[in-house]
Every structure is written in C-alpha cells, then in structure tokens.
A and B are shown apart, each in its own frame.
Chain A
C-alpha cells in the first residue's frame, strides 16, 4: 500500500510529470481525433433530421459537449487550485493555469454555437436567458482568472492568488447560476438527464461520442500546455537543459 502511494506522489514533481505528460498526451490527442471524427460522422450523416428543428439542431453535437466541458473544467481548475493552496505543490497551480484557456475556449465555443443555433430557432443571436447569461459570466470568470495570473510577475504568487480567486468563483458559480435562472428563463429544459432522454438514440450516441471526444481533447491539450508551462518555469534547472537539448 505504502509503495503505491509513494509511486503516485512521484508525479507531483514537475520533472516526473513532464515525462509522464509527454507519454500520455499523444494518446489522448489520437483518441480525441478518432472520436471526434466518429461523432461528427454520426452527427452529420447517421442521425435523422429533427422533426421540429430540421437540420439546424445538428449544432448540438458541438454545443452540448462544449457547454458541459466549460462548466466542468472550471470545477477541475478550482479543485487543482485548492490542492495547490492546501499542500503548496507547484504542479497544481501549473495544471490550473493550463486548464484555464481551454475552459475559456469551451465557454466561448458554447456561446458561439448557441448564437448560431439561436438565430434560426429563436430568431435572435442572443437571448438574455439563464443559461446563456451564466455561461457568459463563466467566461468572465475564466478571463478574470487568466488576467490576474498574467498580471503578477512571480509565478508562485500568481498561482496562489488566482487559486483564491478560482475557489471564490467556484463557490459563486451555483449562486450566480440560480440567481440568473430565477431572474429570467426561456431556454428549453435539458434534453439529457439521468432519468432518460427525449432524443432519438442515434442523436444521443453521436452526442455522447462527442462528449468523450471533447474530454479527450481537453486532457490532451491541458497535458500539452502544462508541459510548456513546466519547461518555462523550470528553465533554470539542469534537467530542462537536458530535456530540451
């Protein structure tokens, strides 16, 4: 038992994690590419045309996974930030700052695809509804995290200051979500829930494949980015000189 615990903690060292991430990220990237191809193929060619929404609904194959990831990545980021604050580990802050741009990208993608879907369906690019608004606010939270991190020169201090911000944001995300929800709601209810689904099964399959593909993409890009951050932060060390040479 003891040995396996020490074995895992080995990867809390940036040097070890750099090599582990280097081995892992191509696999995740390959999985993401394959699954994305399958998911999009199902989405565009296999899934039937929706009775009410026509072809336009097909954007959900990108929209729903992007929205899910944008929320989930914030929680993962806040969790790593919290671990970094609690245990004072260097790698946690690096992982948190590697996740932030991906989360922001997904939040933006979710808003963009939502707008593209909203124009033909609702007749408007933007509607002040609860989910749109809270995703927009989530994007602001990501931008705030990145801006705070960027404006502090000492990377360790930047990690810890933005970790506090990420945790405060994580506490606020549900409060913001419900306040915006009670403020106004026009968005259709969730199509997928644990009880069952109101969608045709091929549509659901395509969407779930895309969800997994986005997961793989997020993991791959975060590992790739954290490798760069490690190299940047540890550039004065001997092992980096060997690794880059």
Chain B
C-alpha cells in the first residue's frame, strides 16, 4: 500500500482544523455560552462585594472586567484538547504530516474565536454597568481583543500539559494564572493610564508585543507538551 501524497498545504489544513473546531464549538452552544455567563456573574459579584459606590466601581472596572474575562477564558481551556484526546483524533493530528505546532495554532485561534471574541463583545455591556464612558469602553474592547488571543495561546500550553492528568482543572489554573499576569497588567492598565492622561499607546504596544511573542513561541511549547502527554 503506497501512502497517499500530501496534497493539502499547511494553510488549508490549518483552515480545515479551524473550521472543524468552530463548527464543533457552535454545535455545543453551552460550551460557548457558559464561560460568557460565568463572565457576567463574576463581574456582577464585585459591586455586591465591595459596595455600589460609583467612584469606586469606576476605578475598579477595568481590573474587575479583565480578571473576570481571564477566569472565563480559562474555564473553557481544558476542553481545547480533552475531547480530541478522548476520541483519538489528537493522535491523528500528531501523526499528520502537517507540523503539530500549526495545528495547535489553529486550535488556539478557534479557542479565541469561541471564547475571546464573545468576551470582547460582552465587555462593553458590563462596562456600562460600572459606569465607564464610551472612550474607556473602546479602550477596554481593544485591549481585550489584543489580550484574549494571548490568553488562548498561553493557555494551550497548560491545557496540553495537564492532558489526562489527575485534577487537571485546578492544576491548569495554578500553572496558567501566573503566566497571565503580564496580560492582565497591561490590559487593565491601559484604561487607567488613559484616564490619568498618560495615553494608552504604550500599553497597547506591549499587549501586541506579548501577542506576537506568544504567537511565535507557544505553539512550540504546546506541541512539545502534547507529544509528552500522548506518549
């Protein structure tokens, strides 16, 4: 039996993986909606916890929304590889002639589309509840748009490392949350810096730099971790 030649380029394979992930995600509507509801619930708990004083809420809003978004994005990370691991399609991906790093990149991108983009769209609604003005809402959305793909990419490393491990959920948060700190700092800092008259350009540049760095490096780490988990 001769092996069939690999007629698909890496780009079309990545696109196919991306389409498959998005299709699977959209069929399981709960998987997309649950983190989103979680995001709203967490953000709504803060005013109940610290009091509804408008000045306080206004100052806290970027940080609260960012922390909530971070936790919500983490909630869906575990499933990034778990179902494919369970039904064996992950092994096929590892064996495929397309570099594993590129497939992982497509999966992380799909995670961003399914968990990051809804958070970006939901954030201004919650921001209004905290009394942010339209300029701050715009900056918040921009930083989330730049930051959530980084969260998906870094998170994919943790998801791959904890694949098939006891207590994976809690472990994943312990491994990944410390690595999320720079994104949180620059994401939440942008709104505050702009309100203080410092401009948000620097923060946005740093968030973009983090995105580029994680785009380049995290697929390697994730692919290595997947190979270790599957051996």
Hey, which bits of chain A sit against chain B, CB under 8 A?
Answer: 85, 137, 140-141, 143-144, 147-148, 151-152, 157, 160-161, 164-165, 167-169, 171-172, 175-176, 179-180, 182-183
Contact = CB atoms under 8 A, between A and B. Distances in A.
A180 B166 CA distance: 32
Given A151-B166, A171-B217, A180-B185, A161 B161 contact: yes
Given A168-B157, A172-B182, 9 more contacts: A140-B177, A152-B165, A164-B161, A164-B224, A165-B161, A171-B217, A175-B182, A180-B185, A182-B185
A53 to B, nearest CB: 31
Contacts of B157: 164-165, 168
A6 B160 CA distance: 37
B182 A148 contact: no
5 tightest A-B CB contacts, nearest first: A179-B182, A140-B178, A144-B175, A160-B228, A179-B185
B90 interface: no
Given A140-B174, A144-B174, A147-B174, A161 B225 contact: yes
Interface of B: 157, 161-162, 165-167, 171, 174-175, 177-179, 181-182, 185-186, 189, 206, 210, 213, 217, 221, 224-225, 228-229, 231
Contact of A157 (B162, B179, B217, B231): B231
Contacts of B225: 161, 164
Contacts of A148: 161-162, 165, 171, 175
A157 B161 CA distance: 10
A173 B229 CA distance: 25
A164 B162 CA distance: 12
B228 to A, nearest CB: 5
Chain A binding surface SS class: helix
Contacts of B186: 179
Contacts of B181: 137, 176, 179-180
B228 A161 contact: yes
A85 B165 CA distance: 20
Contact of B182 (A147, A167, A168, A176): A176
A109 B189 CA distance: 30
Chain B binding surface SS class: helix
Contacts, number: 70
Contacts of B178: 137, 140-141, 144, 169, 172, 176
A157 B165 CA distance: 11
A145 to B, nearest CB: 9
Contacts of A140: 174, 177-178
8 contacts: A144-B174, A148-B162, A161-B161, A161-B225, A165-B175, A168-B179, A172-B179, A180-B185
A68 B183 CA distance: 26
B174 A143 contact: yes
A206 to B, nearest CB: 34
B5 to A, nearest CB: 33
B91 to A, nearest CB: 16
Contacts of A143: 174
B97 to A, nearest CB: 23
Given A147-B171, A148-B175, A175 B165 contact: no
Nearest to A152: B165
Given A148-B161, A151-B167, A168 B221 contact: yes
Nearest to B231: A157
A176 B154 CA distance: 14
Given A144-B174, A151-B166, A161-B229, A183 B189 contact: yes
Contact of A169 (B166, B179, B213, B228): B179
A144 B182 CA distance: 17
Contacts of B189: 183
Contacts of A165: 157, 161, 175
Contacts of A167: 221
A137, A179, A180 interface centre (most CB from chain B within 10 Å): A179
Contacts of B185: 179-180, 182-183
A98 to B, nearest CB: 20
Contacts of A137: 178, 181
Contacts of A151: 162, 165-167, 171
A183 B184 CA distance: 11
